[in-house]
Amino acid sequence: MMSYKRYLLVVIILLSCPSLVWGNEFQLVPSISVKEEYNSNIFFLTDNISKDFITTISPGIEMVNNTEILETDLLARLNRFDYADNRELSATDQLYIGKFRYRATPLLNISTEAGYVRDSQPDRDIGTSGIILSNVPRNRYNASLSADYQLSEKTALGASYAFGKDNYESTKYSDDVSHGVNAGLTYDLSQYIQRLKGRVNLGYSNYAFSDSKIDSVMGTVGFSWDFSETGVIIIDGGIRHTSSELSYGLIQLNNDDWGWVCNVSLNYKGERGNDSLTYNRDITPASGLNGAVERNALILSTQYRMTSEFSILFAAGYYTNKSDAGQFSTQAIDWRSILISPGVRYEFSKDISLEASYDYTLIDDLTSNTTVNRNLVSIRLYIQHPFWSK
């Protein structure tokens, strides 16, 4: 009941104070989506497999207010999951996000973001990490602050801080807290190659779990290149040093590890479609698993518009999550995950769309020598309507 009261409070605040937030561009956009899906393996098990039909209803409201110096984006959404047979798994998840970007001077921009997510679905992290969980509720808090400053016509400096916290409502999973600080310098190299910029980045990350603490320092060099008016490629590569403190009861082990990090991103946006291909390798928390992992993530996403209303969608991902026992985690972690998702979308208008998709997921746990897969078929109707705009 409290979740609905909190959601209603956000709506009331947005509606009651329009005169305080109106600027050059103001929009208040309520939305709702209804999704029906068939899940062939809810918990990704090899035996005692649970199958079910799941109905998801997601009401939301977003407020966007942009002026010459301040951009504001506030979003609140509920996700109600109703299982046809496994009624005990039905739940209401929540999401609240606030983003602000402030142009302090013509050369200095400051951005901040904060969010709270309460989720409970076993596949909640599949699309971002390839890791599966049970239906234990998780409360996730995150906040970030960043700034970018144009030092000269060719040189720009950026810095950021990010905070994250995961709390699980069960001792089955480990809570964690993370901090990250990054600083980067970009330099315009257009005198050599048009629209080419060099990049240097330094970063520090700290992850704290119930039985482990990890500190990681990394440095990268790379470039970004707008090779056309619609395409950009970013490549960064470098090294990292990671220190781990792992506790096994009264015994504490320390470990130092060197490795390499990489980030490659290729994005194309044309008249008929959008395409994105990314590869990332770094140390990152394994949420709920009491440690961090070295993760490789290769993700492809594409959308091609056949007509003004009809589009073909395709997404695929390959993830590896690995840590030896005593390396970044108290337990050995070695997962391989493959996700493939073709789909179609029909847009009745800019505010109403119907989408159908098929998702195939394969999880290979090398530590337990088990392989599981899941088939997911879904159809989703999305409706939004800006009823207050300026």
pLDDT of residue 128: 85
Q: What is the spatial distance between Cα 178 and Cα 215, in angstroms, rounded to a whole number?
A: 10
CATH architecture entry for 2-389: Beta Barrel (2.40)
Divide the 390 residues of the chain into consecutive groups of 10 and give the mean pLDDT of each group. Answer: 45 43 77 98 93 98 95 97 96 97 97 97 90 93 98 97 96 94 98 96 96 95 95 98 89 92 96 94 91 95 96 97 90 94 97 98 94 97 84
Question: 186 — phi, psi (to 5°)?
Answer: -120, 145
Q: What are 278's strand-pairing partners? A: 265, 299
What is the DSSP code string of 152-168? SSSEEEEEEEEEEEEEE
Q: Indicate the pairing of strand 231-248 with strand 251-269.
A: antiparallel
Give me the residue spans of the domains in the chain: 2-389
Give the Cα separation of 165 and 22 in Å (integer).
33
DSSP 88: G
Note the pLDDT of residue 390. 61
b/e per residue 113-130 (b: at least 16 CB within 10 A): bebbbbbbbbbbbbbebb
CA torsion sign, 293 to 294 to 298 to 299?
positive
Residue 177 structure tokens: 């807290």
User: Do 291 and 330 touch, CB atoms closer than 8 A?
Assistant: yes
